[in-house]
Amino acid sequence: MNYFVIGYYALLIGSSCLAAHYRQREIFLLLFSLTLASFVMGIVGGEGALWAVTIAAGLLALAGGTAYSFREFLIIISGPLTARALRTAPLTAAFGMFVIFTYAVLGIFAPVIAPYGEAEVISQSFAPADQDMLLGADQLGRDMFSRLVYGARNTVGLALVATTIAFVIGALLGMIAAVKQGWFDQFMGRTIDVVMSIPSLIFALLLLSILGTNMIVLVVIIGVIYSPRVYRLTRAVAGNVVVMDYIEAAKLRGEGMWYLIRKEILPNSTAPLIAEFGLEFCFVFLLVAGLSFLGLGIQPPTADWGSMVRENATLISFGEITPLIPAAAIALLTVAVNMVVDWMLYRSSGLKE
Amino acid sequence: MANKGNILLKIEGLRIEAYAEEKWFEIVHGVDLVLRRGEVMGLIGESGAGKSTIGLAAMGFARDGCRISGGSIEFDGLELTTTSEVDRRRLRGSKIAYVAQSAAASFNPAHKLIDQHTEAPVQYRIRKRTESQEDAMELYERLRLPNPREIGFRYPHQVSGGQLQRAMTAMAMSCRPDLIIFDEPTTALDVTTQIEVLAAVRDIVDQFNTAAIYITHDLAVVAQMADVIKVLLKGDQVEEADTRTMLNKPQEEYTKSLWAVRSFQREQKLRPSDDSAPVVAVEDVDAAYGTVRVLEDVSFDVHAGMTVAVVGESGSGKSTTARCITGLLPPLKGRILFRGEELPPSYLSRSKDQLRQAQMIYQMADTALNPKIRIGDIIGRPAQFYGGLKGTALKNRVDELLDMIELDPSQFYGRYPPELSGGQKQRVGIARSLAAEPTFIICDEVTSALDQLVAEGILKLLDRLQRDLDLAYMFITHDLATVRSIADEVVVMKQGKVVEQGAKDAMFKPPHHPYTDLLLSSVPEMDPDWLTTLLEERGVDNVGDAATT
């Protein structure tokens, strides 16, 4: 028994009592079950386990605090309408926004932030971390941290462009189909069915091996492969909008299709489309990373998280976590985007409480 | 209606709050209510008066985003505000039942009527399934549903709206509750169907000596149903008295204004004496949806500066006629003439000017205005599209139009439709059609979704605009009070055919076509004995038949 252990239990039990006293049911249950679990962990795992719990709790609190302050920051700097929407954001969504913000900064200012170039060989292969290299070197002796920063720009940027292409194609065709109906709708629907029936990764591999691998081909192929999902969603959402009387009024006025799409349908389907954009972005991002891992995505020496995982994979057998860092970067962004999208979906679905 | 028993429901100082824009707003400000066994109380008021909210609170229930914040609700000696949700839930369905406005939306479309009927008694172990089915059939018979032994085995979409509403009333009766809350049960129904439901509801409440709260905005309906009437305004109680006193001697100004609302009536105008071509002439039009024939040989004329009201029940082809005129549904046969010139059958092949001349105002202003476009832009678009106005000229035109519909331009120009009330939205819809500078406007049930006071304002506005701008109106409605107040000529439609047409004054004077007569006599009057007298005249048993033949 040392002061740490005594302090640890004293703090937990004390705060449990406070929570119970102020009838904070959920907080009390959480704290007290943590206390009980800590007894077991303390006996089995010793002081180390308790330290781990403390650090985990500290990290969680830090993330929560960051999310909270970031949300308040956003509320203050944004206009009244956005601020009202932001106030409804849960902490998870705020945390997601913070992570996305960080990635965006990393991507945009990559040359300023990264200490070395992405293809610059500065040391021996698999050199351990030192004061020059924050995360050590990769299999060719390039700085892992710099490549991670550049990777944010390449991988995320590519996924963003591909998703945007998918959205422009899918949403436009979906809305045209909803307005035109008849044979065009049927024709598009069946074509989309055919495209969707082919597994996306295999389809991408097939097309890439036929057309060759370069950035533009890659982006366009991914955009085309993912547009059917967007098409279906847009077609469904727009289908609900075109039956409204205001569309009939606009048609009777003699408005053209482009006006209908731009002014009448699009503003009424943005909420689900934005949420879908977030979800699609995650899938596209994972596909890009997966293709890179297989060697058909972004080509070396351009830094990319997917290929970084593959290139450094041998290190796992030596108990190093280096190859897991880019993987974690992928995971973190995907989770963050999903957190924000969850909140947006919740808002657009109009659910209360 | 004697033998009123002891107090069943006692609400004191009821306060209800609703959550909006991150704040709690009080929407019901301390309402008291006492209901005895076997008594029927009518709650009336405009939309937003808190009628439905109070009705639901009588079950100890508050909608999502609402909460009961004060007062007491005592039902049969049990305080509902403090009992647990489990206990309250046990009361609902068995002791207190609820009949919703739209039976079509409240029945589960995937289950047969009788299965939904027996659910509550079986759940509460009041009756076994077979007993409950027998009971359902008996109730169906009492509610005078056709084929009472078989109708229960149909799905909700297989019966008509009026029948569904009666089936719902039967369902509410399934556990023989002490209290039933009727939330506007006939609002969505035609006048002829409404009578069946009203008669059925009144009889069954009487037979089982059930207490009821009858929520409605229609005074004439409440006069038939209630023993006591309570008037509400924006969450406050205005006054309460028994039906006859309330109808004859209302005390408060607000109640008097409600009573006087149907007084607006204007002089009938006559057709121009010269032989000028009518603005719109419909000639022998037939139309069909797929293979279903919905219009047959429809012909009528609309002259400049005049209002032609097209009346009929739902499904009579009123709106379809409008769709034929606008070109949304090209007719199978017949012609639409505009100032003597034939219009192309489909709107797609009409010229911009032809489209501009005929405008439409919709029933549901909610769906007729794009919620994401500002009022100024909604109204400005036709002016911009047809007139080519831009910049300040456009802004001035929109301001002028907003003035015309009595909305302050500085206040409404930049707002979005969801921020407006129902009446204001309808006014914006009118302004949008005026912006095109038309000569002919189709008004499709423009007042039926509005409160009576607001509706009267809209009718007066339309009348003024007609005089100022020499507009011709085609007024589609099922409400004969509206016809009486604004029409010059009337066209009565039934099952896709024109049954009778002529000048208004002649139409409201006998002799009538039998169908016109049925429509006219079915409009509830502000006389508590009206329903009883009418049923006696028609013979109680054929109420339903009269409406279906």
Give the residue-averaged pLDDT of A53-57: 88
Give the residue-averaged pLDDT of B136-164: 83
Give the residue-averaged pLDDT of B433-461: 86
Partner residues linked to B285 by β-bridges:
B298
Question: What CATH number did the domain enclosing A245 receive?
Answer: 1.10.3720.10
Do A72 and A13 fall within a single domain? yes
Distance from CA of A317 to the nearest CA of B (A): 54
Cross-chain CB nearest to A245 (options B21, B64, B362): B362
Q: Which residue of A has its CA nearest to B383?
A: A253
Q: Is A263 on the interface with B (CB under 8 A)?
A: yes
Alpha-carbon dihedral B197, B202, B203, B207, rounded to 10 degrees: 140
Specify the pLDDT at position A1: 61
Specify the pLDDT at position B166: 83
Do A27 and A121 fall within a single domain? no
Note the pLDDT tens digit of each residue in B485-495: 888 889 988 88
Specify the pLDDT at position B378: 92
Task: Give domain status of residue B309, yes or no.
Answer: yes
Specify the pLDDT at position B549: 36
Do A237 and A339 fall within a single domain? yes
Mutate to test the interface with A, among B362, B369, B372 (most CBs of A within 10 A): B372
Specify the pLDDT at position B544: 45
Q: Is A268 on the interface with B (CB under 8 A)?
A: yes
* pLDDT at residue A96 is higher than 90: yes
Do A83 and A122 fall within a single domain? no
Total residue count of chain B as it appears in this document: 549
Note the pLDDT tens digit of each residue in B380-425: 999 999 988 888 999 999 999 998 888 888 888 888 888 888 888 9
Do A201 and A266 fall within a single domain? yes
Specify the pLDDT at position A69: 92
SS (H, E, C) B335-387: EEEECCEECCCCHHHCCHHHHHHEEEECCCHHHHCCCCCCHHHHHHHHHHHHH
Q: Is A120 on the interface with B (CB under 8 A)?
A: no
Q: Which domain holds residue A47?
A: 3-87
Q: Is A352 on the interface with B (CB under 8 A)?
A: yes
Q: Which residue of B has its CA nearest to A255?
A: B385
Task: Give domain status of residue A96, yes or no.
Answer: no
Note the pLDDT tens digit of each residue in B512-548: 788 888 888 888 777 777 787 787 777 654 444 444 4
* pLDDT at residue A277 is higher than 80: yes
Specify the pLDDT at position B232: 86
Cross-chain CB nearest to A253 (options B327, B370, B385): B385
Task: Give domain status of residue B467, yes or no.
Answer: yes
Give the residue-averaged pLDDT of B284-296: 85
Alpha-carbon distance of B21 to A75, in angstroms, equals 15
What is the SS3 assignment for B112?
coil
A229-233, B463-467, B521-525: range with lowest mean pLDDT:
B521-525
Q: pLDDT band for position A23 (50/70/90)?
A: confident
Q: Which residues of A touch B381 (CB under 8 A)?
A: 253
Mutate to test the interface with A, among B19, B326, B363, B370 (most CBs of A within 10 A): B370
Q: Which domain holds residue B467?
A: 280-370+439-509
Q: Determine, for residues B370 and A268 on separate chains, whether the beta-carbon distance falls below 8 Å.
A: yes
Note the pLDDT tens digit of each residue in B337-392: 988 888 898 888 899 888 999 999 988 888 899 988 999 999 999 999 998 888 89
Do A185 and A272 fall within a single domain? yes
Task: Give domain status of residue A277, yes or no.
Answer: yes
Do A241 and A195 fall within a single domain? yes
The H-assigned helical ranges of A22-90 are 25-77, 80-87
Note the pLDDT tens digit of each residue in B62-96: 877 788 888 888 888 788 888 888 888 888 878 88
Specify the pLDDT at position B262: 61
> What is the ipTM score, two decimals?
0.77
* pLDDT at residue A110 is higher than 80: yes
Q: Which residue of B has its CA nearest to A266?
A: B372
Distance from CA of B372 to the nearest CA of A (A): 6
Specify the pLDDT at position B38: 82
DSSP A237-292: HHHHHHTSHHHHHHHHHT--HHHIIIIIIHHHHHHHHHHHHHHHHHHHHHHHHHHH
DSSP A102-156: HHHHHHHTHHHH-SS-TT-B-S-TTPPP-SS-SS-B-TTSBBHHHHHHHHIIIII
Enumerate residues 45 to 104 of chain A having a beta carbon within 8 A of any beta carbon in chain B: 84, 87
**Exposure letters B495-523 (e unless 16+ CB within 10 A, then b):** ebebbbbeebeebbeeebeebbebbbbbb
Task: Give domain status of residue B495, yes or no.
Answer: yes
Q: What percent of chain B has pLDDT over 70?
A: 95
Q: Which residues of B touch A86 (CB under 8 A)?
A: none
Highest mean pLDDT among A120-134, A227-241, B45-59: A227-241
Are the C-beta atoms of B177 and B96 separated by less than 8 Å? yes
Specify the pLDDT at position B539: 66
Q: Determine, for residues A249 and B368 on separate chains, whether the beta-carbon distance falls below 8 Å.
A: yes
Q: What is the largest CA-CA distance in chain A?
A: 84
Task: Give domain status of residue B124, yes or no.
Answer: no
Are the C-beta atoms of A19 and A33 separated by less than 8 Å? no
Specify the pLDDT at position A114: 85
Task: Give domain status of residue A202, yes or no.
Answer: yes
Specify the pLDDT at position B273: 66
Q: Which residues of A touch B22 (CB under 8 A)?
A: 84, 87
> Distance of CA B32 to CAs B10, B13, B38, B72, B243, Å?
8, 5, 19, 9, 18
Do A18 and A143 fall within a single domain? no
Task: Give domain status of residue A104, yes or no.
Answer: no
Q: Determine, for residues A352 and B64 on separate chains, whether the beta-carbon distance falls below 8 Å.
A: yes
Residue B161: how many other CB atoms lie within 10 Å: 18
* pLDDT at residue A350 is higher than 70: no
Q: Determine, for residues A249 and B432 on separate chains, whether the beta-carbon distance falls below 8 Å.
A: yes
The number of folded domains in chain A is: 2
Do A161 and A28 fall within a single domain? no
* pLDDT at residue A168 is higher than 90: yes
A188-192, B159-163, B428-432: range with lowest mean pLDDT:
B159-163
Give the residue-averaged pLDDT of A293-307: 82
Task: Give domain status of residue B66, yes or no.
Answer: no
Mutate to test the interface with B, among A248, A253, A265, A348 (most CBs of B within 10 A): A253
Task: Give domain status of residue B123, yes or no.
Answer: no
Helix or strand run (H / E) with residue B398 = helix B391-404
* pLDDT at residue A309 is higher than 80: yes
Partner residues linked to A140 by β-bridges:
none
Q: Is A264 on the interface with B (CB under 8 A)?
A: yes
Alpha-carbon distance of B443 to B463, in angstroms, equals 12
Do A122 and A266 fall within a single domain? yes
Specify the pLDDT at position A192: 92
Do A124 and A34 fall within a single domain? no
Chain-wide mean pLDDT for chain A?
Answer: 87
Q: Which residues of B touch A87 (CB under 8 A)?
A: 22
Specify the pLDDT at position B73: 86
Give the residue-averaged pLDDT of A260-279: 88
Q: What is the Cα B261 distance to its own chain's centre?
A: 16
Distance from CA of A171 to the nearest CA of B (A): 19
Give the residue-averaged pLDDT of B439-445: 90
The number of folded domains in chain B is: 1
Do A233 and A341 fall within a single domain? yes
Alpha-carbon distance of B318 to B41, in angstroms, equals 36
* pLDDT at residue B441 is higher than 90: yes
Task: Give domain status of residue B15, yes or no.
Answer: no
Tokens representing A68? 């909270």
What is the SS3 assignment for B49?
coil
Task: Give domain status of residue A102, yes or no.
Answer: no
The closest of B40, B231, B80, B363 to A249, measured between CA atoms, is: B363
Task: Give domain status of residue B474, yes or no.
Answer: yes
What does R_g of chain B's alpha carbons equal in angstroms? 25
Question: What CATH number did the domain enclosing B488 receive?
Answer: 3.40.50.300
Q: Determine, for residues B22 and A264 on separate chains, whether the beta-carbon distance falls below 8 Å.
A: no
Backbone CA torsion sign across B366, B372, B373, B374: positive
